[in-house]
Amino acid sequence: MLDIKFVRENPDAVKENIRKKFQDAKLSLVDEVIELDTKRRAAIAEADQLRADRNRLSKQVGMLMGQAKKDSSKLEEAEAVKKKVTDEAARLAELEKQEAELDEEVHKRMLVIPQIIDPSVPLGPDDSANIEVQRFGEPKVPDFDIPYHTEIMESFDGIDMDAAGRVSGNGFYYLLGDIARLHEAVLAYGRDFMIDKGFTYCIPPFMIHGNVVEGVMSQTDMDGMMYKIEGEDLYLIGTSEHSMIGRFIDQILPESSLPETLTSYSPCFRKEKGAHGIEERGIYRIHQFEKQEMIVVCKPEESKDWYEKLWKLSVELFRSMDIPVRQLECCSGDLADLKVKSCDIEAWSPRQQKYFEVCSCSNLGDAQARRLRIRYKDKDGKMQLCHTLNNTCVAPPRMLIAFLENNLQADGTVIIPKILRPYMGGKEKLIPKSK
């Protein structure tokens, strides 16, 4: 969310940013916010003047009542002043109500005006305009057919989607045996990888209040992703970023504690509205999965450097498991409203012979911090908003697809990279139980 003062003083820049994000329907919000804010500030100014008058008149009444003991004519004058105080009290109550209503209307519109994007973000209307920046590792296509990922898992008796469908419906699965163990191995390795990089490991609450949801994501994303607990002011988290950033709500952090570098595990719950084509079957797009995340809360001048560090950690993690990846710069139209800059790390799919998203790294600037009032005092004692960033460390459903396809052998076995073998009880490869 932008600073209202910035919007007031730079309406043209805010509108140009909206155009860059191809959201022209929101242009009118800028003028509406400015008009409402003008009325709100006028109401505040008048109310402040009435409060000052009330204090002055109250003193005047006291003085007149004292004088009335000697001069009865002062009593009538005191009553007239009392009436004025009463009349102004009614007007003050009216102004306070008006101020609250205007504040709510301004806030409602400010929530949907997008954050100012970084100048380096490429312009484009949607993800088709995202730009490949660089590749890491040589993508290979084996000389044998690679089955669909659920077929690979079924060869190890490692997945049961039929039973999950009966129990929970579409978008759920049971993982079994070596595949379930591989799932946990990847999470454990991702956890230890981040701890070794100096991040603090966390397990957060898996449900959060509505005001935290509003603070960490846009209204559009909230409606399209979040599951609400019926009858409760609680939502199931779509990613641990939500509760991890929420941890700092209304906090003034010691400057010496920054940056906060955290890696968190959680299950994730998502409605996953949208396309469900052939490549989004199986465990690619599901309602429940587990994930290891990276979160950074830092000073504004540090966020660009942390953005670069975070996505490079994803590359290092995937390359340590011999999975080729590429960095894809997200264009303006593909950025969620709170994001300043974002990129995807995509893994190579030998079966599809193309890359697909496995990590998403984002710099949100002060957007979440402003909504949640996450601040610190600088060396001069001045209050500043923090910047927040997040990045997927590893999300096993998609990671498993990339892992299985890139390590599958012609005989149906799957090689376990050396880095993962300690987490798999020393196993060097998975051997199919059925074909």
**What are 86-117's pLDDT values in tens digits?**
666 777 788 888 889 999 999 999 999 999 99
pLDDT at residue 285, rounded to an integer: 79
Burial (CB < 10 A; 0-12, 13-18, 19+), residue 320, is middle
pLDDT at residue 362, rounded to an integer: 97
Token pair for residue 270?
A: 């998502």
Residue 267: φ, ψ to 5°: -70, 155
pLDDT at residue 62, rounded to an integer: 54
Buried b (16+ CB within 10 A) or exposed e, 275-302: eeeebeebbbbbbbbbbbbbbbbbbeeb
For the chain, give the number of residues.
Answer: 435
The residue ranges of the chain whose pLDDT is under 70 are 54-88, 219-220, 273-281, 434-435
pLDDT at residue 69, rounded to an integer: 47
pLDDT at residue 70, rounded to an integer: 46
End-to-end CA distance of the chain, in Å? 53
Among candidate residues 368, 342, 374, the one with its CA nearest the CA of residue 357 = 342
Alpha helices in 285-354 (DSSP H): 303-319
| Strand residues in 106-251 grouped as ranges (E) | 131-136, 159-160, 174-175, 200-202, 207-208, 227-228, 235-236
Alpha helices in 197-333 (DSSP H): 210-216, 219-225, 240-246, 303-319
Express each pLDDT in 43-67 by its tens digit: 988 888 777 776 665 555 555 555 5
Residue 188 to residue 399: CA distance in whole angstroms: 13
Residue 214: φ, ψ to 5°: -60, -30
Kindly list the structural domains of the chain, giving each domain's residue range(s) and its CATH number in brackets, ordered by start: 4-110 (1.10.287.40), 127-430 (3.30.930.10)
Contacts of 121 (CB under 8 A, 6+ apart): 20, 329, 330, 331, 332, 335, 341
pLDDT at residue 58, rounded to an integer: 57
Q: What is the DSSP letter of 127?
A: G
Residue 291 to residue 197: CA distance in whole angstroms: 18
Contacts of 34 (CB under 8 A, 6+ apart): 7, 8, 11
pLDDT at residue 72, rounded to an integer: 54
Token pair for residue 104?
A: 């709510």
Among candidate residues 113, 118, 264, the one with its CA nearest the CA of residue 203 = 264
pLDDT at residue 173, rounded to an integer: 92
Q: What is the DSSP letter of 122?
A: P
